[in-house]
């Protein structure tokens, strides 16, 4: 066995032996992050994609669980909570956790040590009901979830109980939620979790690209707590970048001839590499590109991956690329974050991704082995697109990044969380009355005080202000939200939307009947879409979703493309929001559309484009 590095001296011999046999030596984010995580400090690890930062967060947790398992102290309770902004990332992390846990268990058996299994589970919107029930009956030691599912777990009566023992919270790809309302929703959920747990959980944040790093660290920590530790390994990494320009002159729009040359060049690049990941900005483009590539290199070598495909098709696409069954995977942002899709040699971006951080993130999907240089190619389709791709490459070379702007106190999100907190208190009277503690001391982050089934207004206000986006929330604004939630909204038919009963004498809030159901069914900050579910007959298998407008404009007998497969529309059920389809056996299809999905250009990239235009 190789000698154990000094930076791993803290680990149990079993864990250290497994790590050394798999990886040899720790990476820089791991060496710098472990001491702070072990000391129980809130830690933000910012490092390039593929630098081992996820294992930096998990190894200390795995070590703690292994020690408990060997000592016979491992009980059926959830101690580690991993929050991922993407369902695909959560599924991937769980699969990648099973490998080290299984190998450590096997190693323990070889050494003659009796060690019970350390279990993991995923709880997202895709999780099937039998799996959800099994999780409640026998909680996993490591729970992988999304911000929206964490909110539901904190609000639903039975699932709250399994979160009381959480000791560590890992928030992956934190930059993906910090700059929108999902982030505000998540940090309020983290405050609710801290109010519920016996001890304040250690918070660990992971991200590839962030600016300003200090603000994102405070976003993770909240206010009124010790300053977070920032492990910043830097985003500047050697990259092999190039811009592909078609052989014909570029114009204001791309011609069919130009697209044909792009498809041909893509087929050449795919042939030259072991595995290729192609990113597009829209789902429509992903379907179109996958179809045309399939015509050139064979449909069996191409897969599509985007948010409008069913979970089954998405997981199948990820597995096929990882196992080498397909040569190229065409994806949208659904595969942008840290999902491990095996050894990707080349990343191709069709059109500018409109953001410096997104470009770095996507190119970083390639070269996931030690010493590898990530390789990316940007395909320009118009004159303006070429200008933007050139400005993007220049910005990356200069080391510039997009600035994250954290929304200031979104009140609709706060209203949701207030109703959910009060509804949860009603089912577990007294359960939130004890303050969370850190280092054995009662902290300022006491839970909203509960009397019978009521929440204290002052404690609720204090909890909201501990979340970073609400640090400057005024009491007057908070009271106006409470007034709206307790008195409802006036309409011609009377008042509606009254979810809370407000006791103004004692400053207590109680949830009205139906408040919990409203909180669970209407939670989250992801906007609703008018989508039709596409169901394949005769097996009634869900293929994915299409935009409502596309479904309404389609006719029976039309051939459409979804998941790189041709489907013939059999029937459109407007009442149920379903589109019934049959396999069209490769008939020439039309490409469906989804409204409002193209990204906007970031301010920093716009400045670089402006500078380049001035010079030219």
396 and 417 belong to one structural domain: no
Residue 451 lies in a domain: yes
388 and 454 belong to one structural domain: no
- Rounded CA-CA distance 44/213 in Å is 9
pLDDT digits (tens, 9 = 90+) for 243-263: 999 999 998 999 999 999 999
SS (H, E, C) 3-37: CCCHHHCCCCHHHHHHHHHHHCCCCHHHHHHHHHH
Lowest-pLDDT range, 89-103, 563-577, 593-607? 89-103
Residue 130 lies in a domain: no
pLDDT digits (tens, 9 = 90+) for 194-225: 999 999 999 999 987 677 889 999 999 999 99
Residue 553 lies in a domain: no
Q: Is 408 helix (H, G, I), strand (E, B) or coil?
A: coil
Residue 264 lies in a domain: yes
Question: How far is C-alpha 12 from the geometric centre of its chain's CA atoms?
Answer: 31
CATH number of the domain residue 289 falls in: 3.40.50.300
Residue 72 lies in a domain: no
User: Which pLDDT band, with edges at 50, 70 and 90, does 86 fall under?
Assistant: confident
Tell me what percent of the residues of the chain surpass a pLDDT of 90.
61
269 and 387 belong to one structural domain: yes
pLDDT digits (tens, 9 = 90+) for 41-58: 999 999 877 778 889 999
387 and 439 belong to one structural domain: no
Q: Residue with structure tokens 């200031």?
A: 408
299 and 433 belong to one structural domain: no
391 and 250 belong to one structural domain: yes
Threshold 0.85, pTM exceeds: no
Mean pLDDT of 85-107: 81
Tell me what percent of the residues of the chain surpass a pLDDT of 70.
92
Where a domain ends, among 474, 492, 521?
Answer: 521
Mean pLDDT of 128-147: 91
Where a domain ends, among 351, 371, 404?
Answer: 404
User: With contact defined as beta carbons under 8 Å apart, do 282 and 332 qualify?
Assistant: yes
Per-residue model confidence (pLDDT) at position 471: 95
pLDDT digits (tens, 9 = 90+) for 263-322: 999 999 999 998 999 999 999 999 999 999 999 999 999 999 998 898 888 888 888 888
User: With contact defined as beta carbons under 8 Å apart, do 247 and 438 qualify?
Assistant: no
pLDDT digits (tens, 9 = 90+) for 531-575: 899 999 988 999 999 999 899 899 999 999 999 899 999 999 988
Per-residue model confidence (pLDDT) at position 340: 62
Mean pLDDT of 459-468: 96
pLDDT digits (tens, 9 = 90+) for 311-358: 888 888 888 888 889 999 999 987 776 566 667 889 999 999 999 988
Residue 610 lies in a domain: no
Mean pLDDT of 375-386: 95
- Rounded CA-CA distance 412/410 in Å is 6
388 and 417 belong to one structural domain: no
Task: Provide the residue range defining the domain that includes 471.
Answer: 411-521
Residue 271 lies in a domain: yes
Where a domain ends, among 361, 379, 404?
Answer: 404
Sign of the alpha-carbon torsion through 133, 134, 135, 138:
positive
Q: Is 452 helix (H, G, I), strand (E, B) or coil?
A: coil
Question: To the nearest whole number, what is the mean pLDDT of the chain?
Answer: 88
Alpha helices in 156-233 (DSSP H): 157-160, 175-178, 181-196, 213-221
- Rounded CA-CA distance 343/350 in Å is 21
- Rounded CA-CA distance 498/493 in Å is 14
369 and 283 belong to one structural domain: yes
DSSP structure class, residue 199: B
Q: Is 519 helix (H, G, I), strand (E, B) or coil?
A: helix
Residue 225 lies in a domain: no
Candidates 359, 357, 312, 362; CA nearest to 334 is 362
372 and 442 belong to one structural domain: no
DSSP structure class, residue 533: E
Per-residue model confidence (pLDDT) at position 384: 94
Per-residue model confidence (pLDDT) at position 450: 40
Count of domains forming the chain = 2
Q: Which residues pair with 277 in a beta bridge?
A: 329, 347
435 and 326 belong to one structural domain: no
Per-residue model confidence (pLDDT) at position 594: 87
Half-sphere exposure of 498 (CA within 13 A, CB side): 13
424 and 369 belong to one structural domain: no
Per-residue model confidence (pLDDT) at position 212: 85
478 and 395 belong to one structural domain: no
Question: How far is C-alpha 67 from the geometric centre of its chain's CA atoms?
Answer: 30
């Amino acid at each position: 066995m190789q000698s154990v590095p000094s930076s791993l001296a803290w680990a149990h011999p079993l864990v250290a032996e497994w790590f050394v046999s798999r990886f040899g030596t720790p990476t820089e984010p791991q060496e710098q992050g472990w001491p702070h995580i072990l000391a129980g400090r809130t830690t933000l690890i910012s490092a390039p994609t593929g630098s081992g930062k996820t294992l930096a967060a998990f190894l200390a947790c795995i070590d703690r669980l292994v020690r408990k398992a060997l000592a016979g102290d491992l009980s059926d309770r959830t101690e580690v909570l991993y929050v991922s902004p993407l369902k695909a990332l959560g599924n991937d992390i769980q699969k990648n956790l099973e490998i080290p846990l299984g190998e450590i268990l096997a190693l323990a058996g070889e050494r003659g040590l009796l060690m019970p299994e350390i279990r993991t589970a995923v709880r997202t919107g895709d999780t099937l009901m039998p799996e959800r029930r099994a999780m409640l009956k026998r909680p996993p030691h490591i729970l992988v979830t999304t911000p929206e599912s964490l909110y539901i777990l904190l609000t639903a009566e039975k699932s709250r109980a399994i979160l009381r023992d959480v000791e560590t919270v890992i928030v992956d790809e934190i930059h993906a939620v910090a700059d929108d309302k999902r982030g505000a929703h998540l940090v309020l959920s983290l405050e609710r979790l801290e109010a519920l747990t016996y001890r304040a959980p250690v918070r660990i944040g992971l991200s590839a690209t962030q600016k300003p790093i200090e603000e994102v660290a405070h976003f993770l920590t909240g206010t009124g707590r010790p300053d977070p530790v920032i492990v910043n390994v830097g985003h500047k990494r050697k990259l092999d970048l190039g811009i592909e320009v078609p052989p014909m002159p570029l114009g204001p729009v791309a011609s069919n001839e130009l697209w044909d040359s792009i498809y041909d060049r893509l087929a050449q690049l795919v042939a030259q590499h072991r595995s290729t990941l192609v990113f597009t900005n829209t789902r429509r483009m992903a379907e179109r590109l996958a179809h045309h590539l399939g015509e050139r290199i064979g449909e069996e070598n191409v897969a599509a991956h985007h948010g409008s495909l069913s979970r089954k098709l998405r997981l199948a696409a990820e597995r096929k690329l990882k196992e080498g069954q397909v040569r190229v995977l065409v994806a949208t942002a659904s595969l942008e974050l840290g999902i491990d899709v095996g050894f990707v040699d080349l990343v191709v971006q069709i059109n500018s991704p409109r953001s410096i951080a997104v470009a770095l993130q996507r190119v970083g999907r390639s070269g996931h082995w030690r010493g590898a240089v990530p390789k990316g190619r940007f395909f320009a389709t118009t004159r303006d697109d070429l200008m933007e791709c050139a400005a993007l490459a220049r910005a990356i070379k200069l080391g510039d990044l997009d600035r994250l702007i954290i929304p200031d106190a979104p009140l609709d999100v706060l209203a949701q969380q207030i109703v959910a907190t009060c509804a949860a208190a009603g089912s577990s009277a007294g359960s939130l009355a004890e303050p969370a503690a850190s280092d054995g001391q009662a902290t300022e982050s006491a839970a909203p005080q509960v009397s019978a089934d009521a929440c204290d207004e002052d404690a609720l206000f204090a909890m909201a202000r501990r979340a970073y986006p609400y640090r400057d929330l005024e009491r007057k604004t908070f009271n106006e939200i409470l007034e709206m939630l307790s008195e409802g909204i006036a309409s011609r038919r009377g008042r509606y939307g009254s979810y809370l009963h407000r006791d103004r004498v004692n400053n207590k809030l109680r949830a009205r009947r139906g408040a919990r159901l409203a909180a669970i069914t209407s939670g989250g900050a992801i906007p609703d879409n008018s989508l039709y579910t596409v169901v394949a007959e005769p097996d009634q298998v869900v293929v994915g979703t299409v935009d409502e407008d596309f479904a309404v404009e389609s006719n029976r007998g039309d051939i459409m493309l979804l998941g790189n497969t041709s489907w013939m529309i059999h029937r459109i059920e407007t009442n149920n929001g379903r589109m019934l389809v049959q396999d069209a056996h490769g008939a020439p299809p039309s490409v469906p559309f989804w409204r409002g999905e193209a990204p906007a250009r970031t301010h920093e990239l716009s400045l670089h484009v402006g500078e380049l235009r001035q010079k030219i």
